[in-house]
A and B are shown apart, each in its own frame.
Chain A
Amino acid sequence: MKPVYSKIGEISGNVITVSASNVRYGELAVVSSDHGKSLAEVIRIDGGKVYLQVFQGSSGVSTSDEVRFLGHYMNISFSDDLLGRIFDGTGTPRDQSPKLMEHLIETGGPSANPINRIIPSRMIHTRIPMIDMFNSLVESQKISIFTTPGEPYNELLARVALQASVDVIVLGGMGLRYDDYLFFKHTFESKGALSRSVMFVHTAADPVVESIAVPDISLAVAEKFALDGKKVLVLLTDMTNFCDALKEIAITMEQVPSNRGYPGDLYSQLASRYEKAVDFEEAGSITILSVTTMPGNDVTHPVPDNTGYITEGQYYLDNGRIEPFGSLSRLKQLVNKDTREDHRPLMDGMIRLYADYQETLEKKAMGFKMTDWDNSLLKYGQLFEDGLMDLSVDISLEEALDRGWEILARCFDPEATGLKSDLIQKFWPEGVAADE
């Protein structure tokens, strides 16, 4: 049994210090105060002085409270019993069922050897054309929804999760509004998905630092399921809250900030989580779909910026639609070569024309005369937005491609589309008039 320390030196932000020896870097401790017990983690050792980050916050902790080191690192019990369960950010049950103590696994383990990864190859069909057709989601991808508060991002997450044919869904909530928590719970329940889900939910009412552990716990669990051969989908919402918790700790620790107060290692911190997405050779896979809310709708803000450099693309959700610009699935080329031969060229061609449409819109706004070409583009833009972009559209990839050709044929001559002649011969719909 490790000794108990009862002299807390400094309390600053959510970090406390104690004088202690034989303490390992990263070790957990329990701080007991009048307000109950709180988990804490060693984040720095300086001689005999040990810095601890207190997950439930340092509010109410007094200098004579007890600190007991646990001799182990952050861990979670792993078994199939997790399925259907709901926990808080550090793995304590939120539901009425008992705490799980068996088969403890450490979180934040080493990264997978690239040699053991395989090239992702299975498309996840969502029946959302802006995803399936223009930015296909691929099993084992890590991708984020870039959005702003108020957008229906959690609905989108839930819709994809229910549509995707995965074995296990892990939900990691960070700073989740209670309503959203209930929304996920009820939606999964009513669609019969709860029994294949595990939830780690940190709500907006909980201390901010507690959300720091959520991605690690969620991903450690996901990794174990994947090694057991399961296809796992991890939903992380909202990663901006996680980053803000990191920022808070960094500032308390007086680290030199690199950009808008965020620590210089924000990239590495995010990457070590997102890189857990994997398709294992001869085992299962982990797909990560996260939410990143952009403060001030600014994509150059450090959180979306660093995320964009790490994830394999992003869906840009704005005004209730997934925007074609800014949205990107970097893995789409791994799957859209095997769907239908017109998939790729049609996708590129339609986006190029949509870009032209945007320019025409600008011209129109400036009051210029619209040429015939401009008018075709305007018509095209409208049909594109209603027929493919609207989130209420719920069609298969095949249907979306056919609809794409039809939209083109209603607006343009074949040559104006910039698509190769052989494709046009094969796919250009007969009997659709360019000018109605």
Chain B
Amino acid sequence: MKGNIGFVKAVNGNMVSVEFDCRVKQNEVAYVIVGELRLKSEVVRITNDHADLQVFDSTRGIMTGDEVEFTGELLSVELGPGLLGNVYDGLQNPLYEMSESYGYFLEKGVTLPALPKDVKWEFLPTVKEGERVEKGDCLGTVMEGLIKHRIMVPFKLSESYEVANIVVQGEYTISDIIATLRDDRGREFPLTMSFNWPVKRAINFYEERLAPEEPLITRIRIIDTLFPVSKGGTYCIPGPFGSGKTVLQQITSRNAMADIVIIAACGERAGEVVETIREFPEIIDPRTGNPLMERTIIICNTSSMPVAAREASVYTAVTLAEYYRQMGLDVLLLADSTSRWAQAMRERSGRLEEIPGEEAFPAYLETLISGFYERAGMVRLKDGSTGSVTIGGTISPAGGNFEEPVTQATLKVVGTFHALSRDRSDARRYPAIEPLESWSTYKGIIDAKHREWINKLLTKSYEIEQMMKVIGEEGTSLNDYITFLKGDLFDSVYLQQNAFDEVDAATPEDRQKFVFEMLFHILHGNFSLLKDKEEARHFAHHLRQCFLDLNSAQWGSEQFERITKNIQESVEKYMDKDSGLSRLLLRSSFVDTIIDSSARRLKKAKTILKEDIEAETDDETGI
């Protein structure tokens, strides 16, 4: 089509200015033709007779007069079975296939189909000829690993249709026609198992958007217990370099109780993605018995890959997340780092010579950030099932200072804030989430009152610690000193978690509840029998030792039980005799309950504790 051609007029970094004499659409895809190469680009601004394109590739070699081909299509991804387990670049080029075809390097100007064309899927139709369907309705299913993948009516078919034809159960590739729909005017639409959808447009048809109330268990104690995340919720992890954002996301991607995890490695190190790519196929997900990779999709546009594609990569990721959500699944999207995405927009904005906002970020930064996080949510679908997209994004603030545009704009829209601190990571207190600064608006798994109490204890303990720096230890009362030790103990044995210890790395929900209640009880106790600070410190060190050993003991093992007993005995030495803990531990006969049924025991522990605590929590300020 000669009509859809333009010519390069100017080149500046990854932006190309193009003269045209045809219809050009904002955000449509165009190709800059450089000799044999076709460089994929996106129209980002149109002014009269010229368009500015951001090129998703190195612009080296482009010259004035080079031809540009406009496609009329918005930047889109291909949706269908075969996405799971794949590793894509920001534009959904499959990296395994790229490596096979082009070797060690990401060669310029190449694109490959996102979904495997030759794989046969066992298609099971769920509609009959003559039924009426509309966009998003399920036509049939295929098993994608353990996931029942719904083959849906393409989302851009906007009317109501009659199923004119549907294939019988059998094996089909994604390019085989599996159904034909007919609209009211008699037009027919032959369908395959895949279709395209523009990445910057949210998939937003469902019956109802629900409040994110169900916790998404990450098996990271400080998160689940104190700063929980909900299915369909949003959270952000800002922190200076090296504070542990990526490691935290890596652990989450392994341990979170989601059906599908999408990792968007956006403008960060390639090496970090490699760890996931190489390890996930080897790690067996204990819940399914299959490799973790089967529930994972990696979108990776690492820092040395073309900057413009970095922006696209987060949209690609969230679009895939929404697609699986439409099947009634819980999807977790982890984006590392949203700052790199914001910087990509800053680079573009600078080259377009737009009026810069704070720190040269574009003035519309906030709108884009909130638009992205708003694509999370828990929804009820037409068939009554629910699905969710949870979004967690890291932020890399310049100079580690949270008073900067990206952090501030993000904090306005997310439900949970995990503030990573340099002080904590320097002192190797991992995960380095600063409990005094972080917050969560979601409910979580621990009684809100207890959570509150612990938060107060941590604050108090911190204040005493600061005070001690001013007035010295000798000027601090024994009571205050014990409160300080209590906060410190909870921090060292509960909030800190060793990601490299086989057992400690992931704490299941019931174990968290159990250990939390146990600690809560100890910390709630009155240690009037400790005679001085020296003794208190020794005792605290001893308890810490016991709990650290407990943390790496298998849940329900004999060792676990032995250490628990040990803790009980030590505590009784110093705690007022009638302590709730001893009653808790005495009343539940540990040997059988722990091993047999953690659920039953938990329930029991809970009720016992409830009685005690309700009796005590009335005069709450007794910290």
Q: Report which A residues bind B (CB closer than 8 A).
A: 21-26, 44-48, 73, 108-120, 140, 227, 255-259, 263-265, 267-268, 271-272, 275-278, 280, 283, 300, 302, 305, 308-310, 312-314, 325-326, 328, 330-331, 333, 337, 344, 348, 351-352, 355, 359, 362-363, 366, 368-369, 371-373, 415-416, 418, 420-421
Contacts and interface: CB of A to CB of B under 8 A. Distances in A.
B62 A275 contact: no
Interface residues of B, number: 79
Interface in B254-290: 267, 269-271, 273-275, 277-279
A110 B62 CA distance: 16
B426 interface: yes
Nearest to A258: B360
B195 interface: no
B274 A118 contact: yes
A418 B104 contact: no
Contacts of B346: 258, 264
A326 B552 contact: no
Interface in B383-402: 396, 398-401
B364 interface: no
Nearest 8 pairs between A and B by C-beta? Answer: A300-B399, A271-B303, A275-B304, A26-B60, A368-B472, A308-B241, A111-B304, A258-B360
B545 interface: yes
Contacts of A272: 303-304
B63 interface: yes
15 contacts: A21-B64, A24-B62, A26-B59, A44-B13, A45-B62, A47-B10, A114-B302, A115-B277, A268-B343, A275-B270, A280-B104, A330-B242, A415-B542, A415-B545, A420-B545
A326 B279 CA distance: 29
B473 A368 contact: yes
A113 B500 CA distance: 28
Of the candidates B87, B241, B347, the one having the most CB atoms from chain A within 10 angstroms of its own CB is B241
Given A111-B270, A271-B303, A305 B549 contact: no
Residue among B62, B275, B398 with max Cβ neighbours from chain A (10 Å)? B398
Contacts of A109: 105
Given A26-B61, A278-B270, 13 more contacts: A24-B60, A45-B11, A46-B12, A256-B350, A257-B360, A259-B359, A265-B13, A275-B270, A310-B303, A314-B242, A415-B542, A420-B545, A420-B548
B270 to A, nearest CB: 5
A25 B426 contact: no
B305 interface: yes
Contact of B303 (A22, A275, A352, A373): A275
Contacts of A420: 545, 548-549, 552
A46 B50 CA distance: 13
A371 to B, nearest CB: 6
A225 to B, nearest CB: 14
A424 to B, nearest CB: 9
A371 B535 CA distance: 13
Nearest to B95: A115
Given A119-B274, A418-B544, A25 B492 contact: no
A234 to B, nearest CB: 15
Nearest to B8: A45
Contact of A47 (B64, B98, B470, B541): B64
Contacts, number: 211
Scoring B242, B273, B343 by chain A CB atoms within 10 A of each residue's CB, the highest score goes to B242
A351 B427 contact: yes
Given A328-B242, A369-B474, A371-B473, A268 B347 contact: yes
B537 interface: yes
Contact of A308 (B104, B106, B108, B242): B242
A110 B107 contact: yes
B104 A112 contact: yes
Nearest to A333: B500
Contacts of B353: 256
Nearest to A328: B242
Interface string B202-220: 0000000000000000000
Nearest to B465: A359
B132 interface: no
Most A C-beta atoms less than 10 A away, residue of B240, B353, B426, B542: B426
Nearest to A324: B426
A341 to B, nearest CB: 12
B242 A44 contact: no
**Best-surrounded residue of A45, A363, A415, A421 (most CB of chain B within 10 A):** A45
Interface string B74-109: 000000000000010000000110110011111110
Interface string B350-379: 100100100110000000000000000000
Given A344-B500, A371-B473, A421-B545, A111 B61 contact: no
